[in-house]
Each structure stands twice: as C-alpha cells, then as structure tokens.
C-alpha cells in the first residue's frame, strides 16, 4: 500500500464511530495485573452522558451475580422487619432498618474512602448531625433525602449512594439494548452551553440523520441547552423509538442547522468501538484513535495497527489519541503499558495497601523505542488516564492537549441492609514521580486547548502539534 499523501488521515475502519452509553452514576472498569484487580470508577461529575437510555452497560459482570444474591437476602430482611414491601407496613420497623443502614453506610465510608485524610473529612461531626436527623424521622420515606444531604457534603466523587428503588431499576435495565438516537456525549457549560457528540454509533438514528463525531447540540426541540439544566438535557434527547427530536446542530467551522432525528432501537456491540488508525500524510507518523468504549480486542487492535503501518514505512513516531478514551470493563492497562513502557510505573493504593504497578515491556513494531505522543483532554478518564500518567511520569511519552480531570478512583461496592448500596472511591494511582492522578489530574507537556467540537478529522491542531513534535524529534 502506498503512503497516504492527502491532507487528512484515511482511517482503516472508516465510519466506525466510538460509542458508550452510561448514566450519571459511576461505573467500574476492571483490569488484571498478575493477581491485582483494579476497578476504575468513572465519576458522576465527569459529564459523559447517555442519550439513549442505557443504564447498566458499564457495571462489571463480576459484581452483578454476588450482589444479586446479597440483594435478595436484603429484600427478605426488609420485608420481615419493615412489613411486607417496606412501604406502609410497620413504619417503626422500617426506621429501625434505616438506622442500621445509616450506621453501616458511615462505617463503610470511614473504612474505604481513599482521600479521607487528604480532605480531612469530619466524620464524627457528619455522623452525629445526620444520625440525629435519622432518629428524628417520622416517616421512613424521608430517609433517602437525609442520606443524599449527607452525601452532598462529602468531597467530589467520594461515593455514590443508590436507594433500593434506584438499585433495582439500574440492575433490571438491559444496558445493551435501548431506544434513542445512538450517540455518546459530553456536556459543556463554557463558552456556550452545549452537548458535544464524542461518538456517533454506526448505523444509528443519529448517523442516519447526518450527525457526526465533533458535532455540538445547541438546542433540543427549540429549547437551548442551558447551564442550569446541565447534563440533565439528555432526558430531553432520549425518547421512544419512532418519536422525533429536533436538534439544533453545529458542525465545526459551520453555521448551526436544524436536524430532525427519528429515535430508534439501538444495540450496543463491540463492532461500534473499533480502534481507528492512519499514517499521517508525508510524515510517516502513525496515528491511532482509541475508542470511547474499550473492547476485549483493543490491545490486539493497537498492536495490529502498529504492525501494519510499520510494515509499510519506517515509522518516525506514534500518536495515541486518548481524548475520548475512558470506559469499558476490560480496558487493557497492563497490555497497553507493556507495549510502550517497562519497569515500575507508579503504584495503586488504597487505605489498606499499596501495590506497585510493575510492567514487563514487549516491543511491537518499534513500540518500545519510537517517539510517543499521547493526546489527552477533559474526557480522558479511568484507565486511559492512568496509562497516560504512567508513561508521562517516566519520560516515555509527551502529552498534548488539555488537562484531564483525575476521574480514576476505583470503587468499593457495599450492599446495605435496606436494599440500597453505596459505591465508594477506594483506590487511586500515584505516578512514578509521586503525582496522585486522582487528586490532580494530568497536565499536558504542551497545552493545546481545542475542544472536541473545535476539531475535525481533517483539521486538528492538537494532532498537528504532536505530529510536528514527533517529526522534529525523529530528525
């Protein structure tokens, strides 16, 4: 195959946008390194939102089965102690169960919250004030409001609590089939409130209506996206199959236009989340765009991309684009670090223990020695963010783009006596230089502040800056 000489990269998997659908609750990503299991929470404030009603796609399968057993036992306890369905039965018994639930919730937070000391959380004061409120409840139905008020006082993303009804609703929803327009989005408040299409699923209603990655939604059914509404705007974009939503859409470097999208049934499959790659024109730099949702073959796809491009030309460098990479139950952290790094690359830690992140490097088509640039931004989250921090801290990679948010904490799932549950940020990551990514995020070596809706496949200043740097480094 002859080298590409046009002004834009030609993707080997054209029109295969990257996708993931999730709700505001955090979800977990599981990666194994020897005997280590890391469950990475994608925090509720990360503003990566579903617009098709999916709710449980990101929840690890390893947690569902045991939790279902525990939940069944909890349901029986609630029925036995609170009277029937826990609604209008013995209110005093229900309040007793809720008091035990509150006590176990606070104990779990004290035991597992990884940044408790850093934020100097006043546990005694919180417990005293809110336990008094629980003791003073006249109706068991008021209990969820008390818990939510307490959770609101905790540091950002310390934990997410789900009531019994919320937990049942989440677990009973099929996260792979839903109705909507079929795209993954991120809310932005500045400079203009909008919803950015990070990824449009191939064959989805959104794609059929002409929507593409990098588009921004400015209004829904004539009502502008607002700061006050925030990410809740997704509730106006969702809807049943066959219904129509009218969107005001702005494509980069174009005037806004109105697009009517007929919502439909969408099925989430691995085929929608493929690695896309290209040789950048006239530079012999390999560009690899990682999908929003990882798949079981992501590591193999990256290796194949390097092998194919390295077999065509003598590569001068590699660009891994992580700007929308975040989610998936099986993001291959160890495999990816093994391709590009080697040795001790920081450490995972919790309240109870610290585990070094030790990697045995393996070269794939020059991956261990080729100059490496990583593109990051505010939508880079979870294991991809750890991957970037690990390689930056040892000087193996140079980061380009915008600061990341530090949404990498692992979650501890704790079932509670009343059938509710809490997911607590329990594990974080420190780089080889001691930077706690969960607290600080990552600062690029070269800041190039263009958001996802300010670039296109043809014109991308972030990619261009990294490409120029790699060409210069290669001589």
**Interval 402-455: pLDDT, tens:** 999 999 888 899 999 999 999 999 999 999 999 999 999 999 999 999 999 999
Distance of CA 325 to the CA centre of its chain: 8
Judge whether 88 lies within some domain: yes
pLDDT tens per residue across span 287-336: 999 998 888 889 999 999 999 999 999 999 999 999 999 876 689 999 99
For residues 123 and 187, state if they share a domain.
Answer: no
Spatial CA neighbour of 199 closest among 273, 276, 253:
273
Judge whether 2 lies within some domain: no
Judge whether 68 lies within some domain: yes
The backbone torsions φ and ψ at residue 127, rounded to the nearest 5 degrees and listed phi first, read: -60, -45
Question: pLDDT tier at 229 (50, 70, 90 boundaries)?
Answer: very high
Domain boundary pick from 267, 302, 324:
267
Using a pLDDT cut of 90, give the percent of the chain over it.
65
Alpha-carbon span 165 to 420, nearest angstrom: 8
Is residue 5 within 8 A of residue 306, CB to CB? The reply is: no
pLDDT score, position 269: 66
Higher pLDDT, 5 or 361: 361
Alpha-carbon span 116 to 122, nearest angstrom: 9
Number of domains forming the structure of the chain: 2
Judge whether 5 lies within some domain: no
Q: What is the CATH number of the domain that holds 386?
A: 3.90.226.10
- Per the structure block, which two tokens stand in for 55? 């709710």
For residues 90 and 197, state if they share a domain.
Answer: no
List all residues 6 or more positions away from 222 whose beta carbon is below 8 Å from its beta carbon. Answer: 246, 248
Alpha-carbon span 27 to 2, nearest angstrom: 43
pLDDT score, position 14: 27
For residues 258 and 342, state if they share a domain.
Answer: no
Q: How far is CA 375 from CA 79, 258, 278, 379, 441, in A?
A: 52, 32, 15, 11, 14
Residue 463 has pLDDT above 60, yes or no: yes
Spatial CA neighbour of 62 closest among 298, 348, 329:
329
Residue 20 has pLDDT above 50, yes or no: no
List all residues 6 or more positions away from 118 whose beta carbon is below 8 Å from its beta carbon. Answer: 439
Rg for the chain, CA atoms, rounded? 23
- Per the structure block, which two tokens stand in for 393? 């801290």
pLDDT score, position 474: 56
Q: How many CB atoms lie within 10 A of CB 165?
A: 11
Which helix (H) or strand (E) element contains residue 217? strand 216-220
The backbone torsions φ and ψ at residue 422, rounded to the nearest 5 degrees and listed phi first, read: -130, 140
Spatial CA neighbour of 1 closest among 218, 462, 313:
313
Is residue 316 within 8 A of residue 366, CB to CB? The reply is: no
Query: Picking from 49-53, 342-346, 424-428, 459-463, which range would have the lowest pLDDT averaged per residue?
Result: 49-53
pLDDT tens per residue across span 236-276: 998 999 999 999 999 999 999 999 999 998 877 656 678 99
For residues 320 and 453, state if they share a domain.
Answer: yes
pLDDT score, position 346: 97
Helix (H, G, I), strand (E, B) or coil at 385: helix
β partners of residue 136: none
For residues 168 and 236, state if they share a domain.
Answer: no
Residue 98 has pLDDT above 70, yes or no: yes
Spatial CA neighbour of 409 closest among 161, 156, 198, 107:
156
Judge whether 425 lies within some domain: yes
Alpha-carbon span 82 to 102, nearest angstrom: 16
Between β-strands 354-359 and 343-350, what pairing exists: parallel, antiparallel or unpaired?
antiparallel
For residues 288 and 433, state if they share a domain.
Answer: yes
Residue 284 has pLDDT above 90, yes or no: yes
Q: Mean pLDDT, the chain, as a whole number?
A: 82
Domain boundary pick from 224, 240, 267:
267
For residues 469 and 385, state if they share a domain.
Answer: yes
The one-character DSSP state at 12 is S
Note down the domain range covering 225.
179-267
Which helix (H) or strand (E) element contains residue 266? strand 264-267
Which helix (H) or strand (E) element contains residue 145? helix 143-153
- Per the structure block, which two tokens stand in for 249? 């859409």
Using a pLDDT cut of 70, give the percent of the chain over it.
77
Distance of CA 401 to the CA centre of its chain: 18
Is residue 441 within 8 A of residue 404, CB to CB? The reply is: yes
For residues 290 and 384, state if they share a domain.
Answer: yes
Residue 53 has pLDDT above 90, yes or no: no
pLDDT score, position 271: 60
Is residue 185 within 8 A of residue 213, CB to CB? The reply is: no
Residue 39 has pLDDT above 50, yes or no: no
Mean pLDDT of 143-162: 94
For residues 240 and 339, state if they share a domain.
Answer: no
Domain boundary pick from 216, 247, 267:
267
Judge whether 468 lies within some domain: yes
Residue 97 has pLDDT above 60, yes or no: yes
Question: pLDDT tier at 117 (50, 70, 90 boundaries)?
Answer: very high
Higher pLDDT, 297 or 372: 372
Is residue 424 within 8 A of residue 410, CB to CB? The reply is: no
């Amino acid at each position: 195959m002859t080298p590409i000489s046009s002004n834009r990269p030609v993707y080997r998997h054209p029109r295969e946008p990257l996708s993931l659908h999730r709700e505001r609750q955090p979800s977990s990503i599981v990666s194994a390194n020897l005997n280590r299991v890391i469950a990475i929470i994608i925090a509720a404030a990360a503003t990566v939102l579903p617009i098709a009603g999916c709710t449980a796609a990101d929840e690890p399968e390893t947690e569902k089965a045991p939790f279902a057993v525990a939940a069944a036992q909890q349901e029986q306890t609630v029925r036995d102690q609170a009277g029937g369905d826990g609604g209008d039965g013995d209110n005093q018994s229900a309040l007793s169960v809720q008091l035990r639930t509150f006590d176990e919730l606070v104990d779990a937070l004290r035991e597992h919250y990884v940044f408790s000391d850093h934020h100097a959380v006043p546990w005694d004061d919180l417990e005293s004030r809110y336990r008094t409120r629980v003791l003073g409840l006249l109706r068991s139905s008021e209990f969820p409001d008390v818990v939510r008020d307490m959770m609101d006082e905790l540091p950002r993303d310390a934990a997410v609590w789900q009531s019994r009804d919320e937990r049942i609703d989440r677990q009973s929803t099929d996260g792979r089939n839903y109705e909507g327009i079929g795209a993954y989005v991120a809310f932005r408040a500045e400079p203009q409130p909008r919803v950015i299409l990070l990824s449009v699923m191939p064959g989805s209603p959104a794609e059929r209506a002409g929507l593409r990655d990098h588009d921004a939604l400015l209004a829904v059914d004539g009502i502008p996206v607002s700061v006050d509404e925030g990410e809740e705007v997704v509730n106006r974009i969702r809807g049943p199959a066959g219904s129509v939503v009218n969107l005001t859409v702005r494509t980069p470097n174009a005037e806004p236009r109105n697009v009517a999208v007929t919502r439909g049934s969408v099925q989430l499959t691995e085929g929608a989340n493929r690695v896309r790659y290209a040789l950048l024109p006239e530079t012999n730099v390999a560009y690899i765009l990682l999908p929003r949702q990882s798949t079981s073959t992501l590591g193999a796809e990256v290796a194949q991309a390097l092998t194919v491009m390295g077999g065509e030309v003598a590569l001068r460098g590699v660009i891994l684009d992580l700007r929308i990479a975040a989610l998936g139950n099986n993001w291959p952290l160890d495999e990816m670090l093994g391709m590009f790094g080697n040795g001790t690359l920081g450490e995972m830690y919790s309240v109870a223990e610290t585990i070094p992140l030790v990697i045995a490097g393996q070269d794939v088509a020059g991956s261990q020695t080729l100059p490496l640039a990583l593109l990051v931004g505010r939508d880079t989250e979870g294991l991809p963010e750890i991957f970037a921090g690990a390689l930056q801290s040892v000087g193996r990679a140079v980061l380009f783009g915008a600061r990341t948010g530090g949404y990498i904490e692992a979650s501890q799932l704790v079932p509670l006596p009343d059938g509710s549950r809490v997911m607590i940020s329990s594990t974080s990551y420190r780089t080889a230089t001691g930077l706690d990514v969960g607290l600080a995020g990552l600062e690029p070596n070269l800041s190039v502040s263009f958001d996802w809706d300010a670039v296109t496949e043809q014109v991308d200043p972030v990619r261009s800056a990294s490409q120029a740097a790699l060409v210069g480094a290669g001589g």
